[in-house]
Structure 1
Amino acid sequence: MSKPIYPCIWFNNNAQEAAAFYCEIFNKASILESNPIVTRFTAGGIVFMLLNGGPKYKVTPAVSYFVYCNGEGEINRLYEALKEGGNVLMPIGKYDWSPRYAWVQDRFGVNWQLDVEEINNEQKIVPNLLFVNKKNAQVAAARNFYMNTFANSMQLMDMPYPPEAGMGNGTLLFAQFKLNGFIMNAMSSTLQHEYDFTPGNSFVVECDDQKEIDYFWETLGAGGRYDMCGWLADQYGVSWQIVPAVLSELMSNPEKGPRVIQAFLKMQKFDIQTLLDA
């Protein structure tokens, strides 16, 4: 696995519109590729894939994107842009964990947490997993599972619940960690929520060979659910796409691409040799 993980967001056939909006508001953002099914762009030091998947799945606040804004001017600008036509879940202001923070659901339904603070990394946008209801004590276990799954992982920050929360000694409210160099956040809530993880937000793992595909498929999917076309949900309900790194190149081949698509539509776990032979 030579490339980092990157997030995929499911859209109801307006992925290109959303990508154009994000590239307009985020600094140094640009489109990498775009076709009727998939648009990929880079912003905040990471790659996003936006998928035109239709109405089957929707995003939820269980996955959001933390933006470390490095200044009041930037957080104010992004707050105004993202809340237009969307919903403010937590208005911009001072909170216990930040001198200036906001949580906004934009007009496409995607959730963003804005923090005035700086992060000491090129990655300025960090996906966040929110563990709610019966899962709200599982942040540490999930973090450890992911760190044990991915090489070159590192624990960056742990923030336990205060004793008065009644969550048990050492239960994590927030954690930040690296998976193969890719920073992720995880947090929990003591409130009851009517949502959970869905395939509306997933994480793509591009694999260099069949051995890597087999490893991530079996390890991440253990205790979870296996779907079609490289998709799975892990034991916590978080969705992943385990795909060959060569897939984009094969699909873009005018002569071979249609056969490759027909081949992988029949697969659960990807078989690289079958794709190459298509």
Structure 2
Amino acid sequence: MNLTISPCPNDTFAYHALVHGLVSGAPQVTAHYADVDVTNNLALTADLDVVKVSYAALPWLLDRYQLLPCGGALGRGCGPLVVTASEVTSLEGLRVAVPGDRTTAYLLMRLWAASGGGTPASVEVVPFAAIMPAVAAGRYDAGLVIHEARFTFERHGLRALVDLGEWWERDTGLPIPLGAILMRRGFGERDRVAGWVRASVEAAFRDPAASQNYVLAHAQEMEPAVVAQHIALYVNDFTLDLGAEGYGAVEALLGRAAKEGLVPALPAGALS
């Protein structure tokens, strides 16, 4: 089985057991690592058995893939931020760097902008690790940041214009759907594959120390304290099972985005 995930601590923590052959009954796994903007586009054409993508990319992918009910990133207090180097009150007329054009972060930013956050003059896709330095250097007026950047943006002399997760939760009362796990249609039986993924997450919770070396090896020079914060924020009960609340959050995000004309509408039952 090929498994395509990000090198971020939440993914390596959750998938350590599966990647290392520690899940009973699971096949041998070949792991590939790429930023989520890469996987969003790679999933369109490559034959990926199990892949991590943005929930915002689902409308373009569910003809080839099924959503698994576990293994992803969804929660509260974990949303993306729009950061700036100067005191501005909206995105109106700004040059904005974003981590991907089909990321949940960008979709949330567009929904917030449509609700009164202002219309940027331009938007450019930039690797997420390069966004904060570029904004601090003045190459962009604002940056949309994800992952561990919510813990470190102030070190770059930046301020938060808006916490899009707080805005979403306040507006909807729902958690934020960030990263989804998809299985290629025809690869196998959905519940069985989901069982392997869930077992890997359960193993991570039982013995958090077991994955430490693996996580740090892929953590892109992140400080151990930031790694721990990252895992605590993005790996939670929703990683074990989306449940009714998780599915409701996904439907709300993509339904609202479809009404705004930002994504294609999903057909009934597409998430099941």
The structure with higher relative contact order (CA 8 Å, sep 6+) is 2
Fold similarity call, TM over 0.5: no
> Given the two structures, how large is their TM-score scaled by the length of structure 1?
0.26
- Point out the structure with the larger strand share: 1
Relative to the length of structure 2, the TM-score reads 0.27
Greater helix share, structure number: 2
